[in-house]
């Protein structure tokens, strides 16, 4: 007589593992994933000791707003100060890969006598966060030659 196998077999483990991967994939693609990911990011960002695990490239308006006045270092000994964050109109659905709720513009001031080429990608580092890549554009106003902007959509 054949007796049923009651132990854990390799086949059962593969089936269970495949089911877990499929469930995680389905959740990641669901509309619930972005709000939960955004909320988790807000919780981590609210703890100063944990911010080094985040990249500001994925930060939202409120996270950047809290950093106004702080200094960012760039390669070659250059620095820039975050002078403001301005919300931008962004209607319609957000892409699934984007966790921020709305678009905004970060405005940076360079120290007197310092200049940067515009429309280039720079590696910026904040003291509480790790390095991140940011596309900086030079200010369009002639009265602000030492101002750079970055748009986060």
Asked if residue 110 belongs to a domain, the reply is yes
Q: With helix as H, strand as E and coil as C, how does the chain read?
A: CCCCCCCCCHHHHHHHHHHHHHHHHHHHHCCCHHHHHHHHHHHHHCCHHHHHHCCHHHCCHHHHHCCCCCEEEEHHHCEEEEEEEEECCCCCCCCCCCCCCCCEEEEEECCCCCCCCCCEEEEEEECCCCEEEEEEEECCCCCCCCEEEEEEC
Asked if residue 68 belongs to a domain, the reply is yes
Query: Which pLDDT score is estimated for 93?
Result: 78
Residue 115 has pLDDT above 90, yes or no: no
pLDDT per residue as tens digits for the range 21-80: 554 544 444 444 455 565 665 665 566 555 556 778 888 899 899 999 999 999 888 999
Query: Which pLDDT score is estimated for 21?
Result: 54
Query: Which pLDDT score is estimated for 121?
Result: 95
Residue 144 has pLDDT above 80, yes or no: no
Name the residue range of residue 86's domain: 33-152
Asked if residue 15 belongs to a domain, the reply is no
Kindly report the average pLDDT of the chain as a whole number: 77
pLDDT per residue as tens digits for the range 91-102: 777 767 777 888
Asked if residue 17 belongs to a domain, the reply is no
Mean predicted confidence (pLDDT) in 135-144: 79
Query: The domain that contains 105 carries what CATH number?
Result: 2.40.30
Asked if residue 19 belongs to a domain, the reply is no
Query: Which pLDDT score is estimated for 33?
Result: 44
Domain count within the chain: 1
């Amino acid at each position: 007589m054949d007796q049923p196998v009651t132990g854990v077999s390799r086949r059962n483990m593969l089936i269970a593992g495949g089911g877990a991967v499929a469930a995680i994939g389905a959740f990641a693609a669901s509309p619930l994933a972005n709000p939960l990911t955004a909320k988790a990011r807000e919780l981590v960002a609210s703890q100063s000791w944990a911010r080094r695990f985040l990249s500001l490239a994925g930060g939202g308006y409120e996270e950047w707003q809290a950093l106004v006045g702080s200094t960012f270092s760039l390669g070659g000994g250059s620095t820039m100060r975050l002078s403001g964050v301005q919300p931008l109109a962004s209607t319609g659905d957000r892409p699934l890969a984007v966790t921020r709720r709305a678009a905004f513009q970060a405005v940076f001031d360079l120290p007197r006598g310092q200049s940067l080429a515009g429309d280039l990608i720079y590696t910026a580092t904040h003291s509480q966060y790790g390095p991140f890549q940011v596309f900086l554009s030079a200010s369009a106003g002639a009265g602000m030659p030492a101002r750079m902007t970055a748009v986060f959509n």
